[in-house]
Amino acid sequence: MNQEVAQTTSRAGSGRFRWRYLRVLAFFTPVALGVIGWDILLRAVGLGRIARRTAQARYRRIARRYRRMATRLGGVWIKVGQFLSTRVDMLPEEITSELSGLQDEVSPEPAMAMRRVIEAEFGAPVDRIFDAFEDSPLASASLGQVHRARVGEERVVVKVQRPDIHELLEEDLAALRVVVGWLKHYPPVARRADLDALVAEFSRTLWAEVDYIAEAENARRFGKMFESDAGVRVPSVVASHSTRRVLTLEDVYAIKITDYAAIDAAGVRRAEVAERLFRTYLRQIFQEGFFHADPHPGNLFVDPNGDSGWRLVFVDFGMVGHVSERMRQGLRDMVIGVGVRDMDRLARSYEELGVLLPGADMRRLREAESAVFDRFWGKSMQELTSIDHRELHDMAHEFRDLVFELPFQLPADLIFLGRCVAILSGICTGLHPDFNVFEGLAPFAKDLLADEGGDWLKMAFQWLEREGRRMAGLPARIDAALTGLESGKLRVQASPTPELEEQLDHVRRGLHRLAAAVIFASLMLTGAILYGRADERLSVAAWAGALVALGFMLIR
């Protein structure tokens, strides 16, 4: 499979699907010319107001045309559209909202074509492989389709790749690389994303989706992950009837998660479904570091007939996400920051996750966070969507410098997590309009804090190491400042303004807090080391001194 990925990064479009390559370029060429004319040339000659006034209608029209093209072509382009719908950090809202409803559903392949794929994989007629096989597909997607069947007495579903899907993907990815090459010359997009890394990640994920051996292993891993959770069901793999292009699984299809009437009729509370779905994903992301990355309505079901009540059902494990330990820590800090309204921790999470562009104004960012928390924290999704647009406009005007700069980027390893969370948010809100993400995050954030508290000594050492690195840089900075004063390159204002006085006072307070913090940490660690090894009275004295230093730090 790595060889196939390498091929897609080096070859140009060719072969029987060349018409697709040309069709895509025919779509994007006028789009690129329009961007050059409206967004670059008009602004360059001082007519940017005209471009801004027509931007919303133009962007919406482009997104609608793209949606029609993606629905007609299927393949890569539906996946690209779904991906673009999550890129609120670099695309206008008119485009992302129009593409957000793009579903991975296309016209089904003829039954005989799918039977030929199965027979080529197993070297025998379909009727000899399965005891029963339904020609009418249960679901049809851009890369494959699903048929119901039977193995012995067991009801199964058979996922079959579309014929020639590998050649089709190569053509589509070749066209995608050409379009991305154009985007590299458009700074508003290029500066917010590593486009080459995005294409590489996107290609890797697509090739993984057509490797059903890997998908079978993902399904097994999810099954083991939730084997002790009676509220979640994952289908088992029928290994004897699975290959790289055909995957046979236990039939667990039940009530579609967006069939609200059927869920209500089954006596299942939709609010509980939203809460369980949200909680399940928190576990996948923050505890397991491995998550189902394609939670659209066709892959989630509600089974009302579980042994211990209703169950949440997952299917289709072709698209999964992995969360590194560093990313997980950044996400934990983000959840804790939102859950307990800790702006400093939230800002730190941005740095850990690498979502800030160089030179971002952290002070201004904290001010914006504080305003957002004061106005929106604790509201349900329904309340958030009903906020007067004039209020949002006023806030956008207040922080227009941040809105203009948009100092955010989304690294490649966070792309599919961002897409997953966006889809998940829509599903939870649809199930329960009063779904409140803050209520769901707050107890989880407190649990994460409690887990951190259980290893306080390790955290203290990490904190000391971090603060030590900051202090180690102070002498060099002071020396540079003094050198600048001596050489005349650094100028000092003789009559300090109130703003300068406030900044100097802030620096003084910061130095006092830093000194108190170092004393506090040192005495706390001394007490921990002396406890049980020497005179415990010395240990208590050290801890008492640490508390005094802590009090001084908080007061200052």
Q: What are the tens digits of pLDDT across the range 267-291?
A: 999 999 999 999 999 899 888 889 9
- Whether 502 shows a pLDDT value over 70: the answer reads no
**Lowest-confidence pick of 298-312, 343-357, 376-390:** 376-390
- The count of domains in the chain is 3
Name the DSSP class of 139: E
CB-based contact 108:140 (threshold 8 Å): yes
Phi, psi of 322 (to 5 degrees): -120, 140
Torsion of CA 246, 249, 255, 258, to 10 degrees: -50
Domain presence at residue 432: yes
pLDDT at 481: 53
CB-based contact 269:300 (threshold 8 Å): no
Domain presence at residue 157: no
Other Cβ atoms less than 10 A from the Cβ of 343: the count is 16
pLDDT interval class at 2 (50, 70, 90): very low
Domain boundary among 423, 453, 483: 453
Other Cβ atoms less than 10 A from the Cβ of 445: the count is 23
Rounded-to-integer distance, Cα 149 and Cα 133, Å: 4
Domain presence at residue 176: yes
Encode pLDDT of 126-143 as tens digits.
999 999 999 999 988 888
Q: Are residues 326 and 473 in the same domain?
A: no
Q: Mean pLDDT over residues 170-190, rounded?
A: 84
Domain presence at residue 331: yes
With a pLDDT cut of 70, the percent of the chain lying above it is: 64
- Whether 65 shows a pLDDT value over 70: the answer reads yes
Q: Are residues 290 and 349 in the same domain?
A: yes
Query: Backbone dihedral region of 139: left (phi > 0), alpha (psi from -120 to 50 degrees) or beta?
Result: beta
Q: Are residues 352 and 469 in the same domain?
A: no
Q: Are residues 300 and 364 in the same domain?
A: yes
- Whether 120 shows a pLDDT value over 90: the answer reads yes
Domain residues for the domain of 305 are 256-453
Q: Are residues 282 and 293 in the same domain?
A: yes
Looking at the annotation, which residues are catalytic? 294
Q: Mean pLDDT over residues 508-526, rounded?
A: 55
Q: Find the angle CA(384)-CA(418)-CA(451) to the nearest 5 degrees.
A: 85
Q: Mean pLDDT over residues 156-180, rounded?
A: 92
Q: Are residues 468 and 418 in the same domain?
A: no
Domain presence at residue 497: yes
The alpha carbon of 350 is separated from its chain's Cα centroid by a whole number of angstroms, namely 13
Q: Mean pLDDT over residues 442-451, rounded?
A: 66
Rounded-to-integer distance, Cα 484 and Cα 476, Å: 12
Crossing angle between the packed helical segments 76-84 and 48-73, to the nearest 10 degrees = 140
Q: Are residues 480 and 444 in the same domain?
A: no
- Whether 11 shows a pLDDT value over 50: the answer reads no
pLDDT at 37: 82
Rounded-to-integer distance, Cα 248 and Cα 147, Å: 10
Considering only CA atoms, which of 203, 260, 248 is closest in space to residue 79? Answer: 203
Amino acid at 210: V
Q: Which of the two residues, 548 and 7, has the higher pLDDT score?
A: 548
Rounded-to-integer distance, Cα 80 and Cα 487, Å: 56
Q: Are residues 82 and 203 in the same domain?
A: yes
Rounded-to-integer distance, Cα 359 and Cα 88, Å: 20
pLDDT interval class at 467 (50, 70, 90): very low
- Whether 206 shows a pLDDT value over 80: the answer reads yes
Considering only CA atoms, which of 146, 418, 414 is closest in space to residue 298? Answer: 146
Considering only CA atoms, which of 441, 440, 466 is closest in space to residue 518? Answer: 466
Rounded-to-integer distance, Cα 149 and Cα 141, Å: 18
- Whether 114 shows a pLDDT value over 90: the answer reads yes
Domain boundary among 453, 486, 502: 453
Radius of gyration of the chain (CA): 28
Considering only CA atoms, which of 373, 380, 375, 378 is closest in space to residue 391? Answer: 375
pLDDT at 458: 46
- Whether 161 shows a pLDDT value over 70: the answer reads yes
Q: Are residues 400 and 474 in the same domain?
A: no
Q: Which of the two residues, 204 and 402, has the higher pLDDT score?
A: 204
Phi, psi of 58 (to 5 degrees): -65, -45
CB-based contact 317:292 (threshold 8 Å): yes
Name the DSSP class of 311: E
- Whether 518 shows a pLDDT value over 70: the answer reads no
pLDDT at 136: 95
Burial classification of residue 301, based on how many CB atoms lie within 10 Å of its CB (0-12 exposed, 13-18 middle, 19 or more buried): buried
Domain presence at residue 296: yes
Which tokens hold the place of 424? 């998940």
Domain presence at residue 160: no
Q: What element of type H or E holds 549?
A: helix 536-555
Domain boundary among 147, 182, 208: 208
**Lowest-confidence pick of 44-48, 83-87, 367-371, 462-466:** 462-466
- Whether 553 shows a pLDDT value over 60: the answer reads no
pLDDT at 162: 92
Query: By three-state DSSP, how is residue 82 classified?
Result: helix
Other Cβ atoms less than 10 A from the Cβ of 482: the count is 11
pTM exceeds 0.85: no
pLDDT interval class at 449 (50, 70, 90): low
Encode pLDDT of 68-81 as tens digits.
898 888 778 888 88
Average pLDDT for the chain: 76
Phi, psi of 16 (to 5 degrees): -65, -20
Q: Are residues 480 and 545 in the same domain?
A: yes
Rounded-to-integer distance, Cα 29 and Cα 34, Å: 9
Q: Mean pLDDT over residues 401-413, rounded?
A: 60
pLDDT at 505: 60
Query: By three-state DSSP, how is residue 480 classified?
Result: helix
Amino acid at 93: E
CB-based contact 194:97 (threshold 8 Å): no
With a pLDDT cut of 90, the percent of the chain lying above it is: 26
pLDDT at 478: 53
- Whether 13 shows a pLDDT value over 50: the answer reads no
**Lowest-confidence pick of 311-315, 335-339, 448-452, 529-533:** 529-533
pLDDT at 32: 86
- Whether 41 shows a pLDDT value over 70: the answer reads yes
Phi, psi of 146 (to 5 degrees): -115, 135
pLDDT interval class at 100 (50, 70, 90): confident
Q: Are residues 285 and 419 in the same domain?
A: yes
Q: Mean pLDDT over residues 468-486, rounded?
A: 50
Domain presence at residue 488: yes
Q: Are residues 494 and 519 in the same domain?
A: yes
pLDDT at 463: 46
Q: Which of the two residues, 377 and 129, has the higher pLDDT score?
A: 129
pLDDT at 240: 96
Considering only CA atoms, which of 197, 418, 438 is closest in space to residue 321? Answer: 418
> Who's near 105: CB < 8 A, 6+ residues apart?
139, 140, 141, 298
Beta bridge partners of 161: 144
Q: Which of the two residues, 175 and 12, has the higher pLDDT score?
A: 175
